[in-house]
Structure 1
Amino acid sequence: MIRVTHTSGLEPSLLPVLRQLLDEAFDGDFSDDDWDHSLGGVHALVYDGADLVGHGAVVQRRLLHGGKSLRTGYVEGVAVRADARRRGHGATVMAALEDVVRRGYVLGALAAAEDAVAFYAGRGWLRWRGPSSVLGPRGVERTEDDDGALFVLPVAVRPDLDGPLVCDWRDGDVW
């Protein structure tokens, strides 16, 4: 079963369960900033019976590209419990999130872990080939370490995948 709801619709008792799922799925490499980035948007929760086995969220961000500020649905916190992987739960999460992106944003975007690149590409997400940057406190700063890990899902815009892409500032990992 899938449940799609805004952060405000999540029961307070569910938040620590979600956080634990993400901590375990990311092998302890899911920071407080990563958690914060996953809140304030729309969540897709996948259940196997009464057990929460998958999660993902779409939060609004502004990406700068081609002289425009693009209202972007940014995908965060996609995870499936280890013992429930390879059963289609990740695809179920992403189908719900892609629906949110297509209905509410001009562009979808995400930063993919290397082991998830084929998964996102297989769903039609396009790898960003151009340089990435962040509009930080000191102006535009390159984020070379993120080059090649960014993917977009065009909705109402057709971006130049070889052009520069700039994200808005946030604490922790900016992408």
Structure 2
Amino acid sequence: MYSFPAWRRAPFIALLIIIFVIAYAPATTQGTATVRLSALISPSNISHLYISISSIQLHREGFLNWTTISQSFPVIDLLSPASQSTPQTITSASVPSGRYDSMKIIFSNSTVLISGQIRPVAAPPALDANMTMLVAPNGNGDLLLIVAFDYATLFADTPSLSFILVSASTA
């Protein structure tokens, strides 16, 4: 058996328990994830394409659940003037720090302005992006998504919209 009295073993056992708790406790640090969205555009009769987002989900590498960002998102004009040099920011939200490997953007509705006439467009399907974004503790993760879409579907009797992810890059 152990030759030391119980009062001498107790601090050692308490120290071991503290070390195990610290070693296996999940990190609780936060960082900021910034997501920007831009579209490849070509000249057409379409003046503006406004999209609304209902939520953004980020998947952290090595975890099963998704981190959902559900805040009040701005309405984005994908056909913003060419004079605007920086893509529009969708969100800049506090998220747990770590490496994110996938993202889903869920859209709520869209509106297109063609030759001065406003037409509602059904919500496009969710945009899935496989990417790598690092969010350091108390740091920033910046992601730029560039999408393309079929202009012809916006001119149909029932306009529809679906995005194709062209590029997902981190800064």
For normalisation by structure 2, the TM-score amounts to 0.24
Higher relative contact order (CA 8 A, sep 6+): 2
Which protein is richer in strand relative to its size? 2
Which protein is richer in helix relative to its size? 1
For normalisation by structure 1, the TM-score amounts to 0.23
Structure with greater Cα Rg = 2
